[in-house]
A and B are shown apart, each in its own frame.
Chain A
Amino acid sequence: MNRAALFVLADGRFPAGGHAHSGGAEPAVAAGRIKDAASLEDFCRGRLHTAGLVAAGLAAASAAGHDPLELDEAADARTPVPALRTTARKLGRQMMRAARATWPSGELDALAAARPRGAHQPVVLGLAARSAGLAPLDAAYAAAYETVSGPATATVRLLSLDPFDATAVLARLAPDLDKTAAAAAAAAQRIPEDGTDALPAASAPLLDITAQQHAAWPVRLFAS
């Protein structure tokens, strides 16, 4: 395996559509909940330990070779609002396109054929990591990091926040990222005994509610 593949996969410039999404930051900025670096950090920490942990668990399980279709159903069960299901599948489809061109594999082809409109993004991300020869923990890191790097970049654009401050926020979250990725990978290891119920199912109701509202905004900078 090439550990360096993780840099390619987790790079914010990996062409899988993430740049058009704020991870819930746009409605949070509009509501005044994110207004500076400190509140961005609170937002990101909350998202990491909820949506981030769930995504990381799914990605780790997928990277470990568990049935992606079953994981896709587990992802649906953990994504109560339609707007976020749509977003996750849209991003999953875009990730699939990039992954199949980057690390082609029969497993990616099979999932693409079974879910032509897109599987949940963390499931595809995990399978991309697997195709790249990465470990489940690596996939968990990539998924967890993405749930905070997306809102941080988006907030730089939305609030004209100092980019150095936003990057420092991400650096301060590093210990939490370690814990989240480790917990996610450990949960994925329990699947053989407990099934997909072993995967984290933490939820952030406010993220769900504002995502659904945001989907109906007539004017917005980000797709989600």
Chain B
Amino acid sequence: MHLDHDLDETFPERHTYSAAPKGPDGTRRALRIGLGGPVGSGKTATVAALCRVLRDELSIAVVTNDIYTREDAEFLLREAVLPAERITAVETGACPHTAIRDDISANLEAVEDLEDALGPLDLVLVESGGDNLTATFSKGLVDAQIFVIDVAGGDDIPRKGGPGVTTADLLVVNKTDLAPYVGSDLEGMARDAKAQRGELPVAFTSLKNEGGVKPVADWVRERLTGWTAGPT
């Protein structure tokens, strides 16, 4: 209940600074998907692979949240997964989770600047800096979030749960090709993830392999279909 509901009538835009589905001109804005997860699990590699698979069918832009360098943005530029003007980096002051959850203003501006500069987009990927298992995206910043972990980080991570593993719209377990070498039990991970997440989906990926990102790309396409068809 808003005690200052009279202000809502005078300033209807006050609740729409974050992620209102439609802009002032009535056009539907891009679907915003966040990618979070621990350091080294393959977030940037997933973003790169998604861009390569989807860039011919969708208009895409990427916001990276590097913790103390521009390395993630530069990796994407070097790999030329998208033209340079479609990739932008946000600085997070040693606190990556703050920039995606508690104070999303810099990320919102980065997304809006991309939309202003590039015209209508279909998809904006917001990649968090590597963080801990509690880091999740604010609903004011993204419409859906992917949490990326990997088998080499320990096969007990799905069992441990935490907001990222438990609540993300898609859990990606990456580097399945390494499982035999690090003694990770993929079936156990799937079982634990199911116990933590119920019906929420889990994708096992090996980005080293041809087409390895397909399960994630398919999920993104599905979300996009739902987004485009969403309530007007």
Contact A98 B105 (CB under 8 A): yes
Q: In the complex, what residues of B have CB within 8 A of residue A16's CB?
A: 103, 105
A17 and B103 contacting across the interface, CB-CB below 8 Å: yes
In the complex, B7 has a CB within 8 A of chain A: yes
Once A and B bind, how many residue pairs between them come within 8 Å at the CB atom? 71
| Chain A residues, Cβ within 8 Å of B17 | 97, 100-101
* Least CB distance, B48 to chain A, in whole angstroms: 21
Number of interface residues of B (CB under 8 A): 25
Q: Report yes or no: B11 in contact with A220, Cβ–Cβ below 8 A.
A: no
Q: Which of A79-107 contact B (CB under 8 A)?
A: 90, 93-94, 97-98, 100-101, 104-105
Interface string of A198-224 (1 = CB under 8 A from B): 000000000000000000001111110
A179 within 8 A of B: no
With a cutoff of 8 Å between Cβ atoms, the chain A residues found around residue B92 in the complex are 20
Does A19 interact with chain B (Cβ within 8 Å)?
yes
Q: A90–B108 Cα gap in the complex (Å)? A: 12
Known: A109-B11, A218-B69. A22 touches B105 (CB 8 A): no
User: Contacts A21-B93, A104-B7, A223-B93 hold; do A97 and B14 have CB atoms under 8 A apart?
Assistant: no
A222 and B91 within 8 A (CB):
yes
> B39 contacts the other chain (Cβ, under 8 Å)?
no
- Interface digits, B76-112 against A, CB 8 Å rule (1 contact, 0 not)? 0000000000000001111100110011111011000
Interface residues of B in 1-39 (CB under 8 A from A): 7, 10-11, 13-15, 17
With A154-B93, A220-B68, A222-B94 as contacts: A20 and B106 at CB distance below 8 Å: yes
Q: Which of B128-187 contact A (CB under 8 A)?
A: none
A33 within 8 A of B: no
- Which A residues are closer than 8 A to B by beta carbons? 13, 15-22, 90, 93-94, 97-98, 100-101, 104-105, 109, 154, 157-158, 218-223
Q: 19 A–B contact pairs at CB < 8 A?
A: A15-B103, A17-B106, A19-B103, A20-B91, A22-B93, A90-B106, A90-B109, A94-B105, A97-B105, A97-B108, A100-B14, A101-B17, A109-B11, A157-B95, A218-B70, A220-B68, A220-B91, A222-B93, A223-B91
